[in-house]
Amino acid sequence: MDKIIKNGTLVTDTKTFQADIHILGEQIQEVAQGLSIPGAEVVDATGMLVMPGGVDAHVHLNLPMFGTVSSDDHYTGHRAAAFGGTTTCLDFVPQDNKTLAEDIEAWHKRADPLAAIDYSFHMNITRFDEKVAAEMAKLPERDGISSIKVFTAYNHRLRLDDGGIFKAMRVARDAGILTMLHAEGGDVIEVLVEEAVRSGKVTPLDHALTRPAWGAVEAVLRASALAAQAEAPLYIVHMNAAGEVDQLQYAREQGLSVMGETCPQYLFFTSEKLAGKDGAGWVCSPPLRGKQDNERLWQGVQNGVIQVIGTDHCPFFLNGGKEILFEGKKVAIPGKELGEGDFTRIPNGLPGIEDRLPILWTHGVGTGRITPNQFVALNATNPARIFGLYPKKGTLQPGADADIAIWDPTISIQYGVKEAHMRTDYNLYEGWTMRGMPVKVFLRGKLIVDDGKWNGRAGGGNYLRRTAGNTIL
């Protein structure tokens, strides 16, 4: 059936203009003023902003950790994302089995029946040898995966040594795969954690103190050097320290194909949160830093040194021993309380998949830090381009999927866990005022969020196969 979104103000990554959108089936057919089609369903967007649905390139759903699991699965997390205006998410496949094919199949079994918005996968590479290299080269054609993630931390668990990262980068380069990097100083972290535990310094704040920012800064420079020598593109995930922005800027000034991502928690919060009563609720890796880091990250976002804002959504209950009512059912999932008295046992991660767009609109666009067009670029168009989803996703042009968020810039609400839809018992932005929220969200032309009502379903999301070759911004 034909649909027309009329009378709205369209916001893309490059311009803001008045136009109507004609949707036929799952795709945008035409963008023009004064559209009229007999029998078409008309959605009146008078006074509203019309934007492409968000693309969150960094989420962790249903992820096992420390004897529990992240509390949002691929249904609850996707549903929450949609309420926040996001229509596409990219999750990470752990390397747990004998082959990458087995890992990917296992993740599909977790995700496919539950997915409520469109989604794709990155592949973690935490063990590397000739067999893994041969399988990596097949990822785009066989599995539709064109990005891998490597780590410079989590020694003896997730980390590859520099030689392994270099080898993986070269295989990825030849296969048209983008290498993503978790940048921290693994060796120093191991020493500092051992010393902290031995001396009884095991508070949530000590978690951050054992992961110094200098390790992240050095890891960004080192990984950029590895990428230069491998002649491979690189994408730094969840940048959190001022010095990381400096190193990324330096690498890009040298002409290297290195890009960066940060997350809202690193723009708004500092390690002071870890010293509070609910400090465990703020434990994530890498940790929150200082105010100067917040400001330098904002500068990187504003001037284009950082290309993407993701969430690193990996939520856990603050008190998993206490039930909450979620979608009419009582739910309790072990969470942050597992590490009471020992930060090494606190599940690492924060909620944020729903909060990203409203918080960045209110405190990014609303404060003049970024323009509405930068907002769309950072949260939709750039990640779609980088991860091989554009022009299917992240744009309002004809031929694109009709993933659309109709945004009411006049809404003002006091936000928090009761207003949000993520399956957890706390919210980072409790009591904050949000000015501007999505009121209608379309996924491939279907209205899945309608003025607070959920019309989506488990299994309604499509897996997105991505081809080799990524855009470097």
pLDDT digits (tens, 9 = 90+) for 351-402: 999 999 999 999 999 999 999 999 999 999 999 999 999 999 999 999 999 9
Is 469 within the bounds of a domain?
no
Structural domain contains residue 230: yes
How high is the pLDDT of residue 254? 97
Print burial letters for 242-271: b (CB count within 10 Å at least 16), e (below 16): bbbbbbbbebbeeebbbbbbbbbbbbbbbb
Across residues 153-157, what is the average pLDDT? 95
For residue 328, being part of any structural domain is answered with yes
Task: Using pLDDT thresholds of 50, 70 and 90, give the confidence band for residue 1.
Answer: confident
The mean pLDDT value of the chain amounts to 97
Residue-level pLDDT at 235: 98
The verdict on 296 and 353 lying in the same domain is yes
Domain match, 94 and 152 both: yes
The H helix count followed by the E strand count for the chain is 13, 21
Beta bridge partners of 88: 55, 118
DSSP 42: E
Radius of gyration of the chain (CA): 21
Amino acid sitting at position 386: I
Q: How far apart are CA 91 and CA 55, in angstroms?
A: 11
Please compute, for residue 263, the number of CA atoms within 13 A of its CA located in the half-sphere on the CB side: 32
Are 84 and 359 in contact by the 8 Å Cβ rule? The answer is no
- Residue 460: band (very low, low, confident or very high) from pLDDT cuts 50, 70, 90: very high
Residue where a domain stops, chosen among 386, 410, 445: 386
Q: Which of 55, 45, 87, 77 is nearest to 439 (CA)?
A: 45
Residue 404 is predicted with a pLDDT of 98
Q: 178 and 125 in one domain? A: yes
- Same domain? 329 vs 432: no
The pLDDT of residue 55: 98
Say if 464 falls within a structural domain: no
Q: In 61-99, where does DSSP find H-type helix?
A: 76-83
Q: Range of 443's domain?
A: 2-51+392-454
Q: Residue 472 falls within a domain, yes or no?
A: no
Residues 176, 314, single domain; the answer is: yes
- How far is the C-alpha of 444 from the C-alpha of 462, rounded, in Å? 10
Closest CA to 223 of 267, 263, 196, 256: 256
User: Residues with Cβ < 8 Å from 392, sequence gap 6 or more?
Assistant: 384, 400, 401, 464
Burial class (CB in 10 A: 0-12, 13-18, 19+), 229: exposed
Rounded distance, CA 197 to CA 342, Å?
Answer: 8
Q: Is residue 459 in some structural domain?
A: no
Q: Is the dihedral of CA 58, 62, 63, 65 positive or negative?
A: positive
Bridge partners for 113 per DSSP: none
Q: How far is CA 428 from the centre of its chain?
A: 16
Token pair for 345: 């046992």
Residue 470 has pLDDT above 90, yes or no: no
Q: Which amino acid is at 328?
A: G
* Same domain flag for 70 and 31: no
With cut-offs at 50, 70 and 90, classify the pLDDT of residue 61: very high
Residues 90 and 104 in one domain: yes
Whether residues 47 and 90 share a domain: the answer is: no
User: pLDDT band at residue 38, thresholds of 50, 70 and 90?
Assistant: very high
The answer, as to whether pTM is greater than 0.75, is yes
Q: What is the CATH number of the domain that holds 428?
A: 2.30.40.10
**69 and 177 housed in the same domain:** yes
Q: What is the pLDDT of residues 388-409, one digit of tens each?
A: 999 999 999 999 999 999 999 9
In single-letter form, the type of residue at position 102 comes to E
From 357, 386, 415, give the residue that closes a domain: 386
177 and 306 share a domain?
yes
Residue 467 placed within a domain: no
Q: Is 443 left (phi over 0), alpha (psi -120 to 50) or beta?
A: beta
Write phi, then psi, for 378 (nearest 5 degrees): -65, -35
Based on the domain organization, do 195 and 274 belong to the same domain? yes
Looking at residue 221, its pLDDT comes to 98
| The total number of structural domains that make up the chain | 2
Instruction: List Cα–Cα distances, 145 to 15, 96, 422, in angstroms.
Output: 31, 17, 27
Q: Is residue 222 part of a domain?
A: yes
Q: Is the pLDDT of residue 472 over 90?
A: yes
- Whether 376 and 405 map to the same domain: the answer is no
- Point out the domain boundary residue: 329, 359, 386: 386
At how many degrees (to 10) do helices 213-230 and 242-253 cross? 20
Whether the CB-CB separation of 12 and 390 falls below 8 Å is answered with no
Does residue 235 contact residue 148 with C-beta atoms inside 8 Å?
no
Place of tokens 């311009």: 15
The domain that contains 170 carries what CATH number?
3.20.20.140
